[in-house]
Amino acid sequence: MRLKSLILAIAAGVAPASDLWGQLGLALSPMRLELRFPKGGQHTGVLTLTNDSSARIRIRAEVLDFFIDAAATPQFGREFKQEQEYSCKQWLTLNPMELELGAGVQRGIRYTLRVPAEASESSYHCAAGFSTLPSPAQKQGVGIATAVRIISAFYAIAGKPEVQGELRDMKIEYVPDAKTPVWRAVVSVENLGLMYFRPIGELALLSAEGKVLESMEFQPLPVLPKRKQRFLFVLKGPIHAGTEYKLRARIDIGGPELQEGTVSAKAELPTP
């Protein structure tokens, strides 16, 4: 039986890891690198791929762009034009680009990241992706064809860009779903500078009178340069439509001061 290929992408610090890696047998380390460079600097290191499955697998490497979308989901691709100004994709090389791994075998992938002397003082981002390829038998339509992509995210920091960010708007949204409709809080954090950061902190849902109803920690997503990033928090509830609540956020973005804000937020159903 032949099934449609399934492609998965996970990057530590970009998206939560999944138990599927243990089932599908491909592991990568490290899954996130932050490298600092003077102008014109370069760095060479090794990524380690491990085949934890019981079969030999073929793997192809590729250099990728990435960004975090409005649903707080990492998106990886060979080219995203909107990322061009802050992409390090053209500076990253991998060797080898294609390999085979026997069952239980570990292999080092050499990477080199070269930052041009003319690069502006900023943080840049890109990724190394490793995808499994179908076996000869799967190519002929025998067996289940399952493709897996695993990601290592790179953050290249040229010079000493400062962290500059602000806590922006907060609101409560209703998310219709045929199975389980949910209410969620949405917090927007804007990166005003050229250095990426990961907010650390807490969001609290309060009653109109100020009583804390529930609290949640921020997911450690990166806020890339010159972006406004939405952080989503599923509310446990119960949330009552038409009721006025308060949202209070306290975050540390790595700057000299903590960011804090409280807003009134009404739980409103979307207009039909």
Q: What are 37's two structure tokens? A: 């460079």
Residues 72, 224, 201, CA angle at the centre, nearest 5°? 65
CA–CA distance, 11 with 203 (Å, rounded to integer): 24
- pLDDT (tens digit, 9 = 90+) per residue, 236-254? 989 999 999 999 999 999 9
Q: Highest mean pLDDT range out of 131-145, 193-207, 255-269?
A: 193-207
Is residue 24 over pLDDT 80? no
Q: Are strands 149-158 and 106-114 parallel, antiparallel or unpaired?
A: unpaired
The yes-or-no answer to whether 20-158 and 165-266 have a common fold is yes
Chain centroid, CA 21 distance in Å: 17
| Mean pLDDT computed over every residue of the chain | 87
CA–CA distance, 74 with 15 (Å, rounded to integer): 7
CA–CA distance, 110 with 115 (Å, rounded to integer): 17
- Superfamily of domain 165-266 in CATH is Immunoglobulins (2.60.40.10)
In which residue are the tokens 């997503």 written?
221
- pLDDT (tens digit, 9 = 90+) per residue, 202-226? 999 999 999 999 999 999 899 999 9
Is residue 58 over pLDDT 70? yes
Q: Is 2.60.40.10 the CATH classification of the domain at 20-158? A: yes
Q: What are 140's two structure tokens? A: 């002929």
Domain regions of the chain by residue span: 20-158, 165-266
pLDDT band at residue 19 under the 50/70/90 scheme: very low
- pLDDT (tens digit, 9 = 90+) per residue, 67-124? 999 999 999 999 999 999 999 999 999 999 999 999 999 999 999 999 999 999 999 9
Q: Are strands 32-37 and 74-77 parallel, antiparallel or unpaired?
A: unpaired
What is the predicted pLDDT for the residue at 135? 63
Higher pLDDT, 22 or 204: 204
Using CA of residue 175, residue 198, residue 218, residue 26, what is the dihedral sign? Answer: positive
pLDDT band at residue 140 under the 50/70/90 scheme: low
Spatial contact of 153 and 12, defined as CB atoms under 8 Å apart: yes
